[in-house]
Structure 1
Amino acid sequence: MQFKASIKKFWHYLLHRRDAAFLSLAFILLVAAIFKPVVPVPRNIYSYMFVVDISQSMNTKGMFWHGQEMTRLEYTKTMLHDMISTLPCGSRVSLSVFAGFTVAALYAPIEVCGNYDAIQDTLNHLEWRMAWSGNSRIRESAEAISRLLRTLPEPAQVVFFTDGEEAPHLHAFNTRDLSGFQGGNGWLVVGIGSLDAYPIPKLDEKNTIIGYWSAENFTMQPGIAQISQQNFGNRDDNVATNEDDRYPSRLDEEYLKQFSGEIHAEYVRGDSEPNVKAAMQRLKPAKRDFSPMQIDWLLGLLAIALIISAYTPQRLLHLMKRLSHRAQNFRSRKTV
């Protein structure tokens, strides 16, 4: 009985002391915020399969991030680091690499917040020495990506980062017909590279530059030998003997636009991260589901608002009374 009486007395006190009631409620909210509560909210769930071209042309410089020059591959990795860090919790990410005419997934889509460190560490270790082939056949990648998507446990939107460099160059004998390809709907092709020409470095197994690719590395005579499967990974190992022999590599944007149109994908140039993000947001979400959202920040804001409300109205009332009293005194003096 005594306990109930104490509760009743405290409740009566709160009803007549708004400041005490607000402060008590603010204290409860702050205590609740310490436990980082979450609530399920419905939202679009995005699942991305980032495909990164790791062929040797991606070692070409000419890309700049905040004024620092870097290779196409390093630029791609830096941009992915930044974009993944801004994805909302619940989003899922898969990393895949492209070389030759195939694509390999490093892992299936995983949730970004719970696996953030693992994803970023994987990005740090992406490099050209992971490639299993010296050539890069962009047109062949469409079917390879489509086959890989069918093996994933859930749908994913493809975001393909490449410079569009076909090696060896295309001609009538090795150009794959993509007119009937339908799998690229909802994909995004991101063009990486400068529109100005830069030489492609040739690196040894220790990542040391031993020279630069010559134009002969990209030129092979048309014929049965060139389109045979066993020749996809072969390339002349000679290097350019002087600067005039170096092969000028640049972002082949017109070709990537054509390629994207043939597979019904979207295209965006990768020199602007906001533009790439905007293009990704236009992709259709993988699904709509309930995702957990932390509300500790919301409880903290409500607690601050209650603390301010506990005192501000009383001070305003006190100020108004003082102003009213001074006005009455002023009128009284004027009347005298």
Structure 2
Amino acid sequence: MHNLYNYFRHRRDVTLLAAALLLLLIALFNPKIPIKRDIYSYMLIADISQSMNTVDKTLNGKPVSRMVFMQDLMHRMIGELPCGTNVSISLFAGVSVAALYTPIEVCENFDAINDTIDHLDWRTAWSGNSRVRASMITLAKTIRSFPEPAQVVFFTDGEEAPKLHVFNRTDLTAFQGGEDWLFVGIGSDAGTPIPKFDEHNQLIGYWSGDSFAMQPGIAQISESNLGVRDDNVAGGTSDRYLSKLDEEYLKELAKEVNGLYVRGNNVHDVLGAMKKQKPVRKDKAGFEIRWLLASLAGILFILAYTPKHPLQELKTQWRHLLARRRQKAA
């Protein structure tokens, strides 16, 4: 043992290389240090109603639908969220929000989450109506069914179909559960017709203005007070219903439920608004240190082939160089 100690003591390069190898072996086991930190869990809700098929956004210089723009925005968000963040993808249509799965860790399930976003489709909707306001109550119930709390990030154009009036306006005066929920407005301010597709996703026309007309009286009390949307298709350009992002309504709704609102123009605006949301809890989480161990191993590897006294070695080499030049000059 004493001879081995003396060997490593006098062989600096071997000692450093052995230490670097040891650090790399430890890094292979991906060790983690438990530290206390904020735990973030998000329920990303995608509005899949037909108004999200409206083409009034641009992506890479090309016109795209709100749905496509929303998908790209969600993809970018997932790529920016730090490991340890939990994410659920949910769908909104009618008055309901359906969670496709409870929040899962974003890095371990990165491909699965992005695949879910890729397959968002209006044909998945279970209702032709779009009642954002009425969905707040079912949304709160859905979150309470999760194994742990989650913050809401609701992507929508704010389109209510049929339009709201005194008969179908859900009272949220005593509503609880919307604190820090984030509404992300998708769409533009310009009125644009909503395309109507068949079951094969082929364009057959545009929604007519009659489809969104207010239906007073008993018509709104039917279907559990939800109302129904006329299935008419516009016959020409004059009777098309023009849809736009209802930003003022979403701001009003967010304020009413103690939530937040941001216009979803880019991922940085949305992520900035998400930072204002409170973490769901504080807990101990594993902090990965393999990158630190690998970095130290790299430094030790470089030092193994670096002179023990680099400055002194440099001075010696400089003196030898000057001596050679003098000899040549002589």
State the partner residue of 1:267: 261
Deviation at 1:249, TM superposition (A): 1.0
Aligned counterparts of 1:193 and 1:165: Cα–Cα separation in 2? 10
Aligned counterparts of 1:45 and 1:21: Cα–Cα separation in 2? 41
Aligned counterparts of 1:41 and 1:86: Cα–Cα separation in 2? 22
State the partner residue of 1:198: 192
Q: What secondary structure does 2:97 align onto?
A: strand
Question: Contact 2:162–2:228 (CA<8 Å) still a contact in 1?
Answer: no
Question: Contact 1:100–1:233 (CA<8 Å) still a contact in 2?
Answer: no
Question: Contact 1:188–1:280 (CA<8 Å) still a contact in 2?
Answer: yes
Aligned counterparts of 2:60 and 2:289: Cα–Cα separation in 1? 34
Aligned counterparts of 2:254 and 2:261: Cα–Cα separation in 1? 6
Q: What secondary structure does 2:36 align onto?
A: strand
Is 2:3 aligned against 1:9?
A: yes
State the partner residue of 1:323: 318
State the partner residue of 1:215: 209
Question: Contact 1:133–1:234 (CA<8 Å) still a contact in 2?
Answer: no
Question: Contact 1:103–1:145 (CA<8 Å) still a contact in 2?
Answer: yes
Q: Of residues 289, 292, 297 in structure 2, which corresponds to 1:295?
A: 289
Aligned counterparts of 2:175 and 2:227: Cα–Cα separation in 1? 25
Q: What residue ranges of structure 1 are gaps of 5+ in the alignment?
A: 332-336
- For residues 48 and 114 of structure 1, do their structure 2 counterparts lie closer, same or farther at Cα, with a shift above 3 Å needed? same
Deviation at 1:330, TM superposition (A): 10
State the partner residue of 2:101: 107
- For residues 217 and 31 of structure 1, do their structure 2 counterparts lie closer, same or farther at Cα, with a shift above 3 Å needed? same
State the partner residue of 2:87: 93
Aligned counterparts of 2:242 and 2:229: Cα–Cα separation in 1? 17
Deviation at 1:310, TM superposition (A): 2.9
Amino acid in structure 2 at the alignment position of 1:48: Y
Q: Of residues 281, 285, 293 in structure 1, which corresponds to 2:279?
A: 285
Deviation at 1:313, TM superposition (A): 4.7
Is 2:48 aligned against 1:54?
A: yes
Question: Contact 2:168–2:226 (CA<8 Å) still a contact in 1?
Answer: no
Aligned counterparts of 1:298 and 1:197: Cα–Cα separation in 2? 53
Higher fraction of helix: 1
Q: Of residues 137, 141, 150 in structure 2, which corresponds to 1:147?
A: 141
Q: What secondary structure does 1:268 align onto?
A: strand
State the partner residue of 1:334: none
Amino acid in structure 1 at the alignment position of 2:173: S
Measured against aligned partners, the alpha-carbon deviations of 1:129-181 in whole angstroms (never above 9, x if no partner) come to 11111111111111111111111111110111110011111223322232332
Aligned counterparts of 2:110 and 2:317: Cα–Cα separation in 1? 58
Deviation at 1:248, TM superposition (A): 1.4
Amino acid in structure 1 at the alignment position of 2:178: G
State the partner residue of 2:169: 175
Question: Contact 2:179–2:258 (CA<8 Å) still a contact in 1?
Answer: yes
- For residues 231 and 206 of structure 1, do their structure 2 counterparts lie closer, same or farther at Cα, with a shift above 3 Å needed? farther
Aligned counterparts of 1:93 and 1:21: Cα–Cα separation in 2? 46
Question: Contact 2:73–2:266 (CA<8 Å) still a contact in 1?
Answer: no
| Over 6 Å off, 4+ runs | 325-331
- For residues 130 and 233 of structure 1, do their structure 2 counterparts lie closer, same or farther at Cα, with a shift above 3 Å needed? farther
Q: What residue ranges of structure 2 are gaps of 5+ in the alignment?
A: none
Deviation at 1:233, TM superposition (A): 6.3
Question: Contact 1:99–1:135 (CA<8 Å) still a contact in 2?
Answer: yes
TM-score computed with the length of structure 1 as normaliser? 0.89
Deviation at 1:23, TM superposition (A): 1.9
Mapping for residues 22-41 of structure 1, pairs under 5 Å: 22-41=16-35
Length, aligned pairs only:
329
Aligned counterparts of 1:73 and 1:233: Cα–Cα separation in 2? 24
- For residues 66 and 10 of structure 1, do their structure 2 counterparts lie closer, same or farther at Cα, with a shift above 3 Å needed? farther
State the partner residue of 1:243: 237
Aligned counterparts of 1:195 and 1:317: Cα–Cα separation in 2? 70
Aligned counterparts of 1:115 and 1:293: Cα–Cα separation in 2? 18
Deviation at 1:264, TM superposition (A): 0.7
Q: Of residues 243, 246, 252 in structure 2, which corresponds to 1:258?
A: 252
Greater CA drift, 234-243 or 150-159: 234-243
